[in-house]
Structure 1
Amino acid sequence: MFDDEAVYAAVSREIETGHIRQGLWTKALSDTGYDEQRARAAYIKLRVKTMKKEGRVAAREGQQQHEQAQRLLERQREEEKERCKHERLQVLVRQGNSLEALAKHGRPPGFAGEAVEV
């Protein structure tokens, strides 16, 4: 899922530019008895692990956003279908084809009454 080489390269760049995470560095120092060489190796392992975890979280969040967008799109499509159906019904009624409209599409939303002879 993750390119190890790219993750290690990113950690290397962080170290070279002095952009290390102080909390992880302190943990690495503590875990190695404050031996700077061993702490550097421990820091790299810790940082790679956190980068991979952050990447998985970001991927999961991206997937959730994608699924939410798909649900919204589907709901919009359904609403558009209903709107078009309602507009077609209105056209048929305006053209004097009320019975055909009712037979074909059923009663529109908000239709309360029965047909009354005059």
Structure 2
Amino acid sequence: ADAKQKMAELMIAEGDAVKYQEPLRQVMSRSGDECVVALTSQWFLHYGSDDWKAMVKKHVDETLETFSPSIRNAFNASLDFLSSWSCGRTFGLGTALPALEGEDARVIIDSL
């Protein structure tokens, strides 16, 4: 058990894992609705990466033609807001993830 705990701490420290906890009781939203799990094998894009943000901001500032400084500022504000974003779902528009089998074969992702 001690090795398991140390390995978990190491993986979290190196960014290879995140802590995940199941709720102990029913979860309610602020609007009073019951929260349910819609997709258990969720995939996330890590838009919070400083390297990724710097690369995209450089493109927005130096290459992307926005035709207005206010549009460029809006792009940069959106980039500052982004962090981790779920990219998988089972409905709507998107691209099917290749090589998934079984229940996961229904997962689609946002086109990037």
Q: TM-score, normalised by structure 2?
A: 0.29
More strand by share: 2
Q: Which has the larger radius of gyration?
A: 1
Higher RCO (Cα < 8 Å, 6 or more apart): 2
